[in-house]
Amino acid sequence: MSAVLNIVLSLAAALIGYLIGRLWETFLVRRRCWMAREFWHPVLDGTFQVVISKFDIPEFREPTGVVGGGDAIANRLLSELFQDIGLERPKSVYVDEHELDRKNNLVVLGGPAENKVARQICDRLRPGMRVVDPGPGVAMQVEMTAQAGGDWAAPLVHVAEPGQEMTEYGVIIRAPSPFAAGRTVVVIQGAYGYGTWAGVGLTQSKDFLARCESLDHEHSEPRGRIAVAAARARRRMGFTSGSRAWVPVECLYKVDVVDGHPTTTEILALRRMLPVTGGGPSSPRVGTDRPPEAAGHP
């Protein structure tokens, strides 16, 4: 009788352990979904569009233009991400379509060379992290500037010519729209298509989401240790405040490309994006101190 009881108790303990493990796994998945929704919610407050790059190649005879493979995959992954976290499938438009409405909330995929909306946003917001197109025959560049006042901008890195194996760079920006008050833009731009592709994947990562959440807490929560600790505890458990406060952020990342696929993605810098102060739309907003992330690059 005791042997049977021991077997039953062992099976019960194993079942309880299994159920606890599954519940914890489910909690972690839902927790990441909550964090992803928090990052994306400023864009989802109202009508929004995903703006996909399209460009012309003189040697290519198709008059309707060309869409980069990396941007196309990024758009598909973004749609899958929204469905995974319980959101509606986004409406996608190409950058030259008449249906594009800059007064909407926008998710913009692609760099300034092929996506004029991304270029217009960066010209107006002047982020401290940006992809730069130096012109025909010159490899793409990625720049990062310091936060304080100043009057210079230095390239962080000259990106190698694209290939099946390379190191790619990209920038993610979440900020108030420069086109319409009360609207939001998210720009995911790689130096090439691999960076845009990897950037959408990065917005699903726990590290990226947690760091964005931390910035939201740091700059939008009421002062005081008890209030801040309580607010952070609520969000860690998946509960959000009614205000759903957020701050503009900018993120610089690099990704290793192997056999034509992005693999390991590393965040080089993620910080609050400062508002534009003075100067014209094309004036750089830069800093006085060379960022430590740039010290090891040419």
Residue 195 inside a domain? The answer is: yes
Residue 3 inside a domain? The answer is: no
Looking at residue 112, what is its pLDDT?
82
Looking at residue 4, what is its pLDDT?
67
Q: Which pair of structure tokens corresponds to residue 254?
A: 């690099």
Looking at residue 108, what is its pLDDT?
95
**195, 169 contact by CB (below 8 A):** yes
Looking at residue 48, what is its pLDDT?
87
Residue 277 inside a domain? The answer is: yes
Residue 1 inside a domain? The answer is: no
Looking at residue 282, what is its pLDDT?
39
Residues in the chain predicted with pLDDT less than 70, given as ranges, are 1, 4-5, 8-9, 15-16, 18-34, 58, 60-65, 87, 147-163, 220-244, 276-298
Residue 282 inside a domain? The answer is: yes
Radius of gyration of the chain (CA): 22
> Quick one: DSSP state of residue 276?
P
By the 10 Å C-beta count (0-12 exposed, 13-18 middle, 19+ buried), 162 is classed as middle
Q: What is the pLDDT of residues 203-220, one digit of tens each?
A: 989 899 999 988 988 876
**273, 250 contact by CB (below 8 A):** yes
Looking at residue 284, what is its pLDDT?
37
- Full DSSP string of 104-128: SEEEEES-TTT-HHHHHHHHHH--S
**170, 208 contact by CB (below 8 A):** no
Looking at residue 195, what is its pLDDT?
92
Q: How many Cα atoms occupy the beta-carbon half-sphere of 93 within 13 Å?
A: 15
Looking at residue 155, what is its pLDDT?
55
**Nearest partner of 127 among 271, 296, 294, 290, judged by Cα:** 271
Domain count for the chain, please give it. 1
Residue 112 inside a domain? The answer is: yes
pTM of model > 0.95: no
Residue 215 inside a domain? The answer is: yes
Residue 294: φ, ψ to 5°: -90, -10
Residue 92 inside a domain? The answer is: yes
Question: Which residues constitute the domain of residue 113?
Answer: 8-294
